[in-house]
Amino acid sequence: MSTQRAFAAALIDTRLPCPEGLCSANGADPASRFAVYRNNVQGSLINALSDSYPVVAQLVGDEFFRAMATVFVQQQPPQSPLMCRYGEAFADFIAAFEPAGDVPYLADVARLEHLRTLAYHAADALPVRAEQITAALADVQTLSELRFEFHPSLHLLDSAFAMVAIWGAHQHDSTLAGVDTHQRQNALVLRNGLDVEVFALDPGASTFIRNLIDGQPLLKAAENSPEFDLAQTLGLLIGRNAITHLNNKELP
C-alpha cells in the first residue's frame, strides 16, 4: 500500500481525515502534527497564486481570493515542480467560478497577468536595429514580401472588457473610478529588455500583429486588418524592441 498516496491525497483534500500510521514522540494526536504539512501545502500554493495574480487578488479582496484559490488548489493541484507555471488554468477556472460572476472582467485580468508572467520568463532574443527595419521598409524591391518575427515574450489578448485599463489602475491607486470596464480592449504584452510592458491596441493594430505572427507579409497583414494607424503601430513595435528578425528575401 502506498503511504505517500494517502498522505498526498489528504494534503490536497482538506475534507479527508489524517492518514493512518503516523505518530508523535510526545503522544500528541498525529492530526495536530499533520496539520502543519497541510497548512504548508495549502498556504504555499495559495501564496504562489496570489504572487502570480496580484491584481485579481486586489479586485476581489484577500479573503475572497484565498477562498477561490483554495477551491482551485483542490481541483487542480500543480503538475510540475516549476511553480512559475502553476496557475496556467486559473483564468479558465475563474471564468467558470460562479461566486466571481459579478466581476465579469476578472478572468480576463487573470489572463493578462498570466501573459505577463510568461513574458517575464520568456527566452531572450536580440531586437533588429531600428535603422535596419527602416531600410527594409524603404526597399521597394522587397517590401511586398517583408515579414517580421517577434520577441518570444510578445503576446496578444482580446477582451470584451477594459482589462488593460483595469490592470493599469491597480498599479498605483487601485481605483476603477473613471474606467469604463465594459469597453472592449486589445492588449499587447511584451518584455522590453528586463521590463514587461502592457499596451492597449486598436482592434485593427491587434489584428495586424496577429497576421504578422501568422506569417503574413507586412503589406498583406495591414490590408487584412480593420482600419488602424500603421505608422504608429510599427513605431510601437520598433520602439519596444519587439521585432527580432526580418525576412525580406526577394522573390525568386
Partner 1 sequence: MFIANHPAHPATQAALRELPPRAGLGLKTGHFREVLGSQPDIGFFEVHAENYMVDGGPFHHFLGLIREQYPLSLHGVGLSIGAEGPLDKQHLKRLAELIRRYQPQSFSEHLAWSSHGPVFLNDLLPLAYDTPTLNRVCEHIDQVQNTLKRPMLLENPATYLGFQRSTIDEPDFIAEVIRRSGCGLLLDVNNVYVSCVNHQRDPLAYLDALPLHAVGEIHLAGFAEDCDNLGDRLLIDDHGAPIDQAVWRLYRQVLQRIGPVATLIERDNQVPAFAVLLAEAQQADALLRDAGGRT
| Of 105 and 114, CB closest to partner 1 | 114
CA atoms within 13 A on the CB side of 185: 23
What are the angstrom distances between the C-alpha of 205 and each of 92, 140, 186?
Answer: 26, 23, 9
Between residues 77 and 204, which has the closer beta carbon with respect to partner 1?
Answer: 77
Q: Which stretch binds partner 1 (CB under 8 A): 74-82, 103-111, 163-171, 233-241?
A: 74-82
Local structure of 217: helix, strand or coil? coil
**Rule CB under 8 A: is residue 12 a binding residue for partner 1?**
yes
* Residue 244 · residue 149 · CB < 8 Å: yes
Contact call for residue 83 and partner 1 (CB under 8 A): yes
> Residue 27, interface with partner 1 (CB under 8 A)?
yes
Window 187 to 206, contacts with partner 1 (CB under 8 A): 191, 194
Residue 21 binds partner 1 (CB under 8 A): yes
Of 8, 27, 10, nearest to 18 (Cα)? 10
Comparing CB distances to partner 1, the nearer of 28 and 67 is 28
Task: List binders of partner 1 among 136-175 (CB under 8 A).
Answer: 152-153
Q: Using N-to-C axis directions, what is the helix angle for 30-52 and 62-75, rounded to 10°?
A: 110
Distance CA 110, CA 94 (A): 8
Give the DSSP letter string of 57-73: HHHH-HHHHHHHHHHHH
Among 13, 16, 32, 224, binds partner 1 (CB under 8 A): 32
- DSSP string across 96-123: H-GGGTTSTTHHHHHHHHHHHHHHHHSP
Note whether 180 binds partner 1 by CB under 8 A.
no
Number of residues that bind partner 1 (CB under 8 A): 47
Among 63, 80, 126, 138, binds partner 1 (CB under 8 A): 80
* Torsion angle in degrees (nearest 10) through CA of 216, 217, 220, 224: 30
Which residues partner with 10 through β-bridges? none
In the shown chain, the binding pattern of residues 85 to 124 toward partner 1, with x for contact by CB under 8 A and - for none, equals -----------------------------------xxxxx
Note the residues at the interface with partner 1 (CB under 8 A): 2-5, 7-8, 11-12, 21-34, 36-37, 40-41, 44-45, 48, 77-84, 120-125, 152-153, 191, 194
